[in-house]
Amino acid sequence: MSKTKKAGRAMGSVLLAILSIIYASPIFIILMNSFKKKTYINLEPFVFPTAKTWAGLENYQTGFDKYNFLSGVSTSVIITIGSVVAILLFCSMFAWYITRVHTRFTKFMYLLCVFSMVVPFQMVMFTLSKTADTLKLNTPFTIPIVYLGFGAGLAVFMFCGFIKGVPIEVEEAAMIDGCSPPRTFFSVVLPIMQPTYISVGILQTMWIWNDFLLPYLVLDQKRYRTIPMIIQMMKGSYGRVDMGAIMACLILAVIPVIVFYLFSQKYIIEGVAAGAVKG
């Protein structure tokens, strides 16, 4: 490699490094402010905490005590795990059936799933929350049914895309050997689909964990609040806004996501790329 080319590449790396620092800085600004006393946050948000403005963990304490942040975490975890498991299991079964059985019904179901992917949530927002209310689906343990229904479109579509590429001979061989259809699905098809389960699981987790409006409208707000709901209500509710507690809760909301991302980065990035190619 020539000298000028080498220098050019080094310059490129340096430029990207500067850009990365700028890119990551908003998170650090919030982190910095989460350790300041609340009255100083709006006054000088870009200054490091000094001895005078330092608040220690006080803001985090307020977040836990006054705003019940931990109960938000458990609500969000229950909803996300329940919904993602339900979506992965039932949508893959549904997708296998409608891909392998050719009737007018299965064709219609497939088209309906594709159609539901483009419908914005606002279209069904009001009627969905009323339906969920009537059926008493307003707890973290029952809201996965709503997520399964509204999220089925994308999941079924992605599973169908994968199943179409699986050679049918393997399944036929299993059935000739005496496997019932459920057994064929669970011990032959399901293991082959592992990469698709990961992709769909990641896309759905990203959506459900961060979703604000659906749980806001469906959940019984007096008893259950997800993390985004807690943050929105800290700011939106009347009375004095505690900037310190907000900073602390923003950090508490972001940290688990970043840790999870750093550990499963490879799958997340592959999942996004796979979802996009099929979408």
Partner 1 sequence: MEKAIKRYFPLFIIPTLAAFLIGFIIPFIMGVWLSFCEFTTVQDATFVGFKNYLLAFADETFVHALGFTALFAVVSLVLINVLAFMLAMALTKKLAGTNIFRTIFFMPNLIGGIVLGYIWQLIFNGILSQFDLALNLNAKFGFWGTVILVCWQQIGYMMIIYIAGLQTIPTDVMEAANIDGASGRQRLFRVTLPMMMPSITICTFLSITNGFKLFDQNLSLTGGEPAHATEMLALNIFNTFYSRVGFEGVGQAKAVLFFLLVVGIGLLQLRLTRSKEVQQ
Q: Which of 9, 107, 164, 223 binds partner 1 (CB under 8 A)?
A: 9
Closer by beta carbon to partner 1, 6 or else 66:
6
Minimum distance from residue 193 beta carbon to partner 1 (Å): 14
Does the footprint of partner 1 cover residue 135 (CB under 8 A)?
yes
Cβ contacts of residue 79 below 8 Å, gap of 6+? 140, 143, 144, 147, 208, 215, 226
Q: Which of 2, 52, 104, 127 binds partner 1 (CB under 8 A)?
A: 127
Does the footprint of partner 1 cover residue 175 (CB under 8 A)?
yes
Residue 88 and residue 155: Cα distance in Å, rounded? Answer: 8
Minimum distance from residue 157 beta carbon to partner 1 (Å): 13
Does the footprint of partner 1 cover residue 122 (CB under 8 A)?
yes
Q: Which of 79, 84, 88, 91 binds partner 1 (CB under 8 A)?
A: 91
Does the footprint of partner 1 cover residue 26 (CB under 8 A)?
yes
Q: Which of 80, 160, 211, 242 binds partner 1 (CB under 8 A)?
A: 211
Does the footprint of partner 1 cover residue 5 (CB under 8 A)?
no
Residue 230 sits at the vertex; the CA angle it makes with 227 and 234, to the nearest 5 degrees, is: 145
Q: Which stretch binds partner 1 (CB under 8 A): 13-21, 51-59, 60-68, 192-200?
A: 13-21
Cβ contacts of residue 224 below 8 Å, gap of 6+? 75, 139, 140, 215
Site for partner 1 in 41-80 (CB under 8 A): 41-42, 45-46
Does the footprint of partner 1 cover residue 235 (CB under 8 A)?
yes
CA 258 to chain centre: 13
Q: Which of 35, 60, 94, 162 binds partner 1 (CB under 8 A)?
A: 94
Does the footprint of partner 1 cover residue 232 (CB under 8 A)?
yes
Cβ contacts of residue 186 below 8 Å, gap of 6+? none
Residue 233 and residue 67: Cα distance in Å, rounded? Answer: 9
Q: Residues 208, 79: contact at Cβ < 8 Å?
A: yes
Q: Which of 7, 13, 65, 141 binds partner 1 (CB under 8 A)?
A: 13
Q: Which stretch binds partner 1 (CB under 8 A): 50-58, 65-73, 176-184, 188-196?
A: 176-184
Q: Which residue has the tokens 């996501």?
A: 257
Q: Which stretch binds partner 1 (CB under 8 A): 49-57, 64-72, 188-196, 267-275?
A: 267-275
Q: Which of 12, 111, 220, 223 binds partner 1 (CB under 8 A)?
A: 12
Does the footprint of partner 1 cover residue 30 (CB under 8 A)?
yes
Closest residue by Cα to residue 115 from 164, 156, 163, 162: 156
Does the footprint of partner 1 cover residue 120 (CB under 8 A)?
yes
